[in-house]
A and B are shown apart, each in its own frame.
Chain A
Amino acid sequence: MIHFVLLISRQGKVRLTKWYSPYSQKERSKVIRELSGLVLTRGPKLCNFVEWREFKVVYKRYASLYFCMCIDQDDNELEILEIIHHFVEILDRYFGSVCELDLIFNFHKAYYILDEILIAGELQESSKKTVARLIAAQDSLVEAAKEQASSISNIIAQATK
Chain B
Amino acid sequence: MATTIMDALFQRTLEDLIKQSRLNLIPEPTFLSRSLDEIRKELRATDLQTKSIALRKLCYLSSLYHVDMSWASFHCIECMSSSSFAIKRIGYVSASQSFDEGTPVLLLATHQLRKDMMSSSVFDSGLALGCFSLMANGDLAKDLCNEVFALLGSSKVLVRKRAIGVTVRLFEKYPDAVRVCFKRLVESLESSDSEVLSGAVSVFCELARKDPASYLPLAPEFYKVLVGSRNNWVLIKILKVFARLVSLEPRLAKRVVEPVCEVMRRTGAKSLVFECVRMVLSSLSEFESAVRLALEKVREFLQDDDPNLKYLGLHALSIAAEKHLWAVLENKEVVTKSLSSEDVNIKREALRLVMAMVSEDNIVEISQVLLNYALKSDPEFCNEILGSILSTCSRNLYEIVIDFDWYVSLLGEMATVFHCQKGEEIEKQLVDIGMRVKDARPELVRIARGLLIDPALLGNLSLHRILSAAAWVSGEYLEFSKSPFELVEALLQPRTDMLPPSIRAIYLQSVFKVLIFVASSNFMERDLNSVSFHQSSAIPGETSKGESIINLLNLVESSVTPLLGSPDVEVLERARNVVGLVELIRNEMSIQEQNEELGFLKLVNLLNDAVSEDLGPVSWNAPDRVSLPDGLILRDNLKELDAVLGGIELPSSSPFSVGVGSLFGEKTDATSSDSRVIEDLEVTNESNESTSLLSEHRRRHGLYYLPSEKSTNGAYDYPPANDPKSEEAGTSGDADDLVKLATQSFVSKKRPSNAKLRPVVVKLDEVDAVPVEQKRAESNDNLLSDAIREILSAGEAARGIAGANTFPPEESKENSRPIKSSSRKGKHRSHHRKEKDSSHSGKQERDREGNSRSRRHGDGRRTRERAGDSASVMAVATIVPDFLLE
Which residue from A20, A49, A51 sits with its C-beta under 8 Å from B308?
A49
The 6 sampled A-B contact pairs (Cβ below 8 Å) are A14-B63, A119-B133, A119-B162, A120-B169, A122-B206, A161-B46
Q: Which 3 A-B pairs have the closest CB atoms?
A: A78-B271, A119-B165, A47-B307
Interface residue? B436 (CB, 8 A): no
Interface residue? A54 (CB, 8 A): no
> A77 and B123: CB pair below 8 A?
no
Interface residue? A123 (CB, 8 A): yes
A82-B231 Cα distance, complex, nearest whole Å: 14
- How near does chain B come to A71, taking the closest CB pair, in angstroms? 12
Residues on A with beta carbons closer than 8 Å to the beta carbon of B166:
119-120
Interface residue? B398 (CB, 8 A): no
> B233 and A77: CB pair below 8 A?
no
Interface residue? B863 (CB, 8 A): no
Task: Report B161-192 CB contacts with A as 1/0, cut-off 8 Å.
Answer: 11001101100000000000000000000000
Which candidate, A62-70, A90-98, A100-108, is the interface stretch facing chain B?
A100-108
Within 8 A of A (CB), among B270-297: 270-271, 274-275
Interface residue? A28 (CB, 8 A): yes
> B165 and A122: CB pair below 8 A?
yes
Interface size on B, residues (CB 8 A): 71
A152-B56 Cα distance, complex, nearest whole Å: 21
> B307 and A46: CB pair below 8 A?
yes
Task: Report B29-61 CB contacts with A as 1/0, cut-off 8 Å.
Answer: 000000000000000001111000000100110
A76-B85 Cα distance, complex, nearest whole Å: 37
Given A112-B93, A119-B129, A124-B161, do A158 and B56 touch, yes or no (CB 8 Å)?
no
> A79 and B308: CB pair below 8 A?
no
> B133 and A78: CB pair below 8 A?
no
> B68 and A25: CB pair below 8 A?
yes
> A141 and B85: CB pair below 8 A?
yes
Given A126-B233, A149-B49, A155-B8, do A46 and B90 touch, yes or no (CB 8 Å)?
no
A125-B203 Cα distance, complex, nearest whole Å: 14
> A120 and B165: CB pair below 8 A?
yes
> A28 and B66: CB pair below 8 A?
yes
Interface size on A, residues (CB 8 A): 61
Interface residue? B345 (CB, 8 A): yes
Given A45-B307, A46-B342, A145-B84, do A17 and B63 touch, yes or no (CB 8 Å)?
yes
Within 8 A of A (CB), among B448-507: none
Interface residue? B202 (CB, 8 A): yes
Given A104-B18, A112-B89, do A155 and B47 touch, yes or no (CB 8 Å)?
yes
Task: Report B51-92 CB contacts with A as 1/0, cut-off 8 Å.
Answer: 000001001100110101010000000000000111101100
> B63 and A47: CB pair below 8 A?
no
Which residue from B68, B87, B310 sits with its C-beta under 8 Å from A47?
B310
Interface residue? A99 (CB, 8 A): no
Interface residue? B736 (CB, 8 A): no
Residues on A with beta carbons closer than 8 Å to the beta carbon of B59:
108
A141-B15 Cα distance, complex, nearest whole Å: 21
Given A123-B198, A123-B233, A149-B49, do A108 and B90 touch, yes or no (CB 8 Å)?
yes
Interface residue? B760 (CB, 8 A): no
- How near does chain B come to A19, taking the closest CB pair, in angstroms? 8
B84 (CB) vs chain A CBs: closest residue: A145
A122-B308 Cα distance, complex, nearest whole Å: 22
A137-B158 Cα distance, complex, nearest whole Å: 13
A13-B9 Cα distance, complex, nearest whole Å: 32
> A141 and B123: CB pair below 8 A?
yes
Add 17 more A-B contacts to A76-B240, A120-B165, A124-B162 (CB < 8 A).
Answer: A17-B97, A25-B66, A25-B68, A45-B342, A72-B209, A77-B308, A81-B271, A119-B129, A119-B161, A119-B162, A120-B166, A124-B195, A126-B195, A134-B158, A145-B86, A145-B87, A159-B46
Residues on B with beta carbons closer than 8 Å to the beta carbon of A76:
236, 240, 271, 274-275
> A119 and B158: CB pair below 8 A?
no
